[in-house]
Amino acid sequence: MSPTITILGVFRGFRPGALYKLSDESYWLQAGHQAVLHHAVNPAAEIRALDDGHFLQVDGIDGMVLVHPVHGVIESRIQGKFTGWTGKSTYRLINGQTWQQAKYTTKYVVEYMPEVLIYHSPVGSFMEVAGTSVKVKQIG
């Protein structure tokens, strides 16, 4: 692989529905259910356009995953402490928006003012924060 781009930040491996921010300012959403654990910071990566779609290949991992480009991603940070997802979690962002969890799931993660990526898909909006992703709706 002769990569010219990197995945920005902490890469936790391939996981269904993961959103990857690349150094070329593009975003890619993982399709399918492939999961591979791998921890790296700013790993080299390459997007390959093949006959059956676009695939993400990451340095240090055998194989590739199918990805789709995502546009209109909102980047911000949570105001204050992030304590994970409780089923009805609501978070205010430093950009003034407020988002509420729209699908019940629980996950305990504690971080102070973590980076947030919000993206829209045909099945709704999703917030990715601290290595977790959940369906959300904007309430303010």
- What pLDDT is attached to residue 17? 86
Residue 66 to residue 80: CA distance in whole angstroms: 35
The two tokens of residue 33 are 């259910």
Residue 92 scores a pLDDT above 90: yes
Indicate if 130 and 81 belong to the same structural domain.
yes
In the chain, count of helices (H) and strands (E)? 0, 16
- What pLDDT is attached to residue 27? 95
Residue 114 to residue 80: CA distance in whole angstroms: 8
- What pLDDT is attached to residue 131? 82
- Residue at which a domain ends, from 17, 48, 70: 70
- Residue at which a domain ends, from 48, 70, 92: 70
- Residue at which a domain ends, from 22, 45, 70: 70
pLDDT in tens, 98-140: 999 999 989 999 999 999 999 998 889 999 998 888 999 999 8
pTM of the predicted protein model: 0.82
Indicate if 42 and 59 belong to the same structural domain.
yes
Indicate if 98 and 126 belong to the same structural domain.
yes
Q: Residue range 92-97: average pLDDT?
A: 97
Label residue 4 by pLDDT band (50, 70, 90).
confident
User: Which residue segment(s) compose the domain that 19 sits in?
Assistant: 5-70
Indicate if 83 and 117 belong to the same structural domain.
yes
pLDDT in tens, 22-71: 999 999 999 988 899 999 999 999 999 999 999 999 999 999 999 999 99
Number of domains in the chain: 2
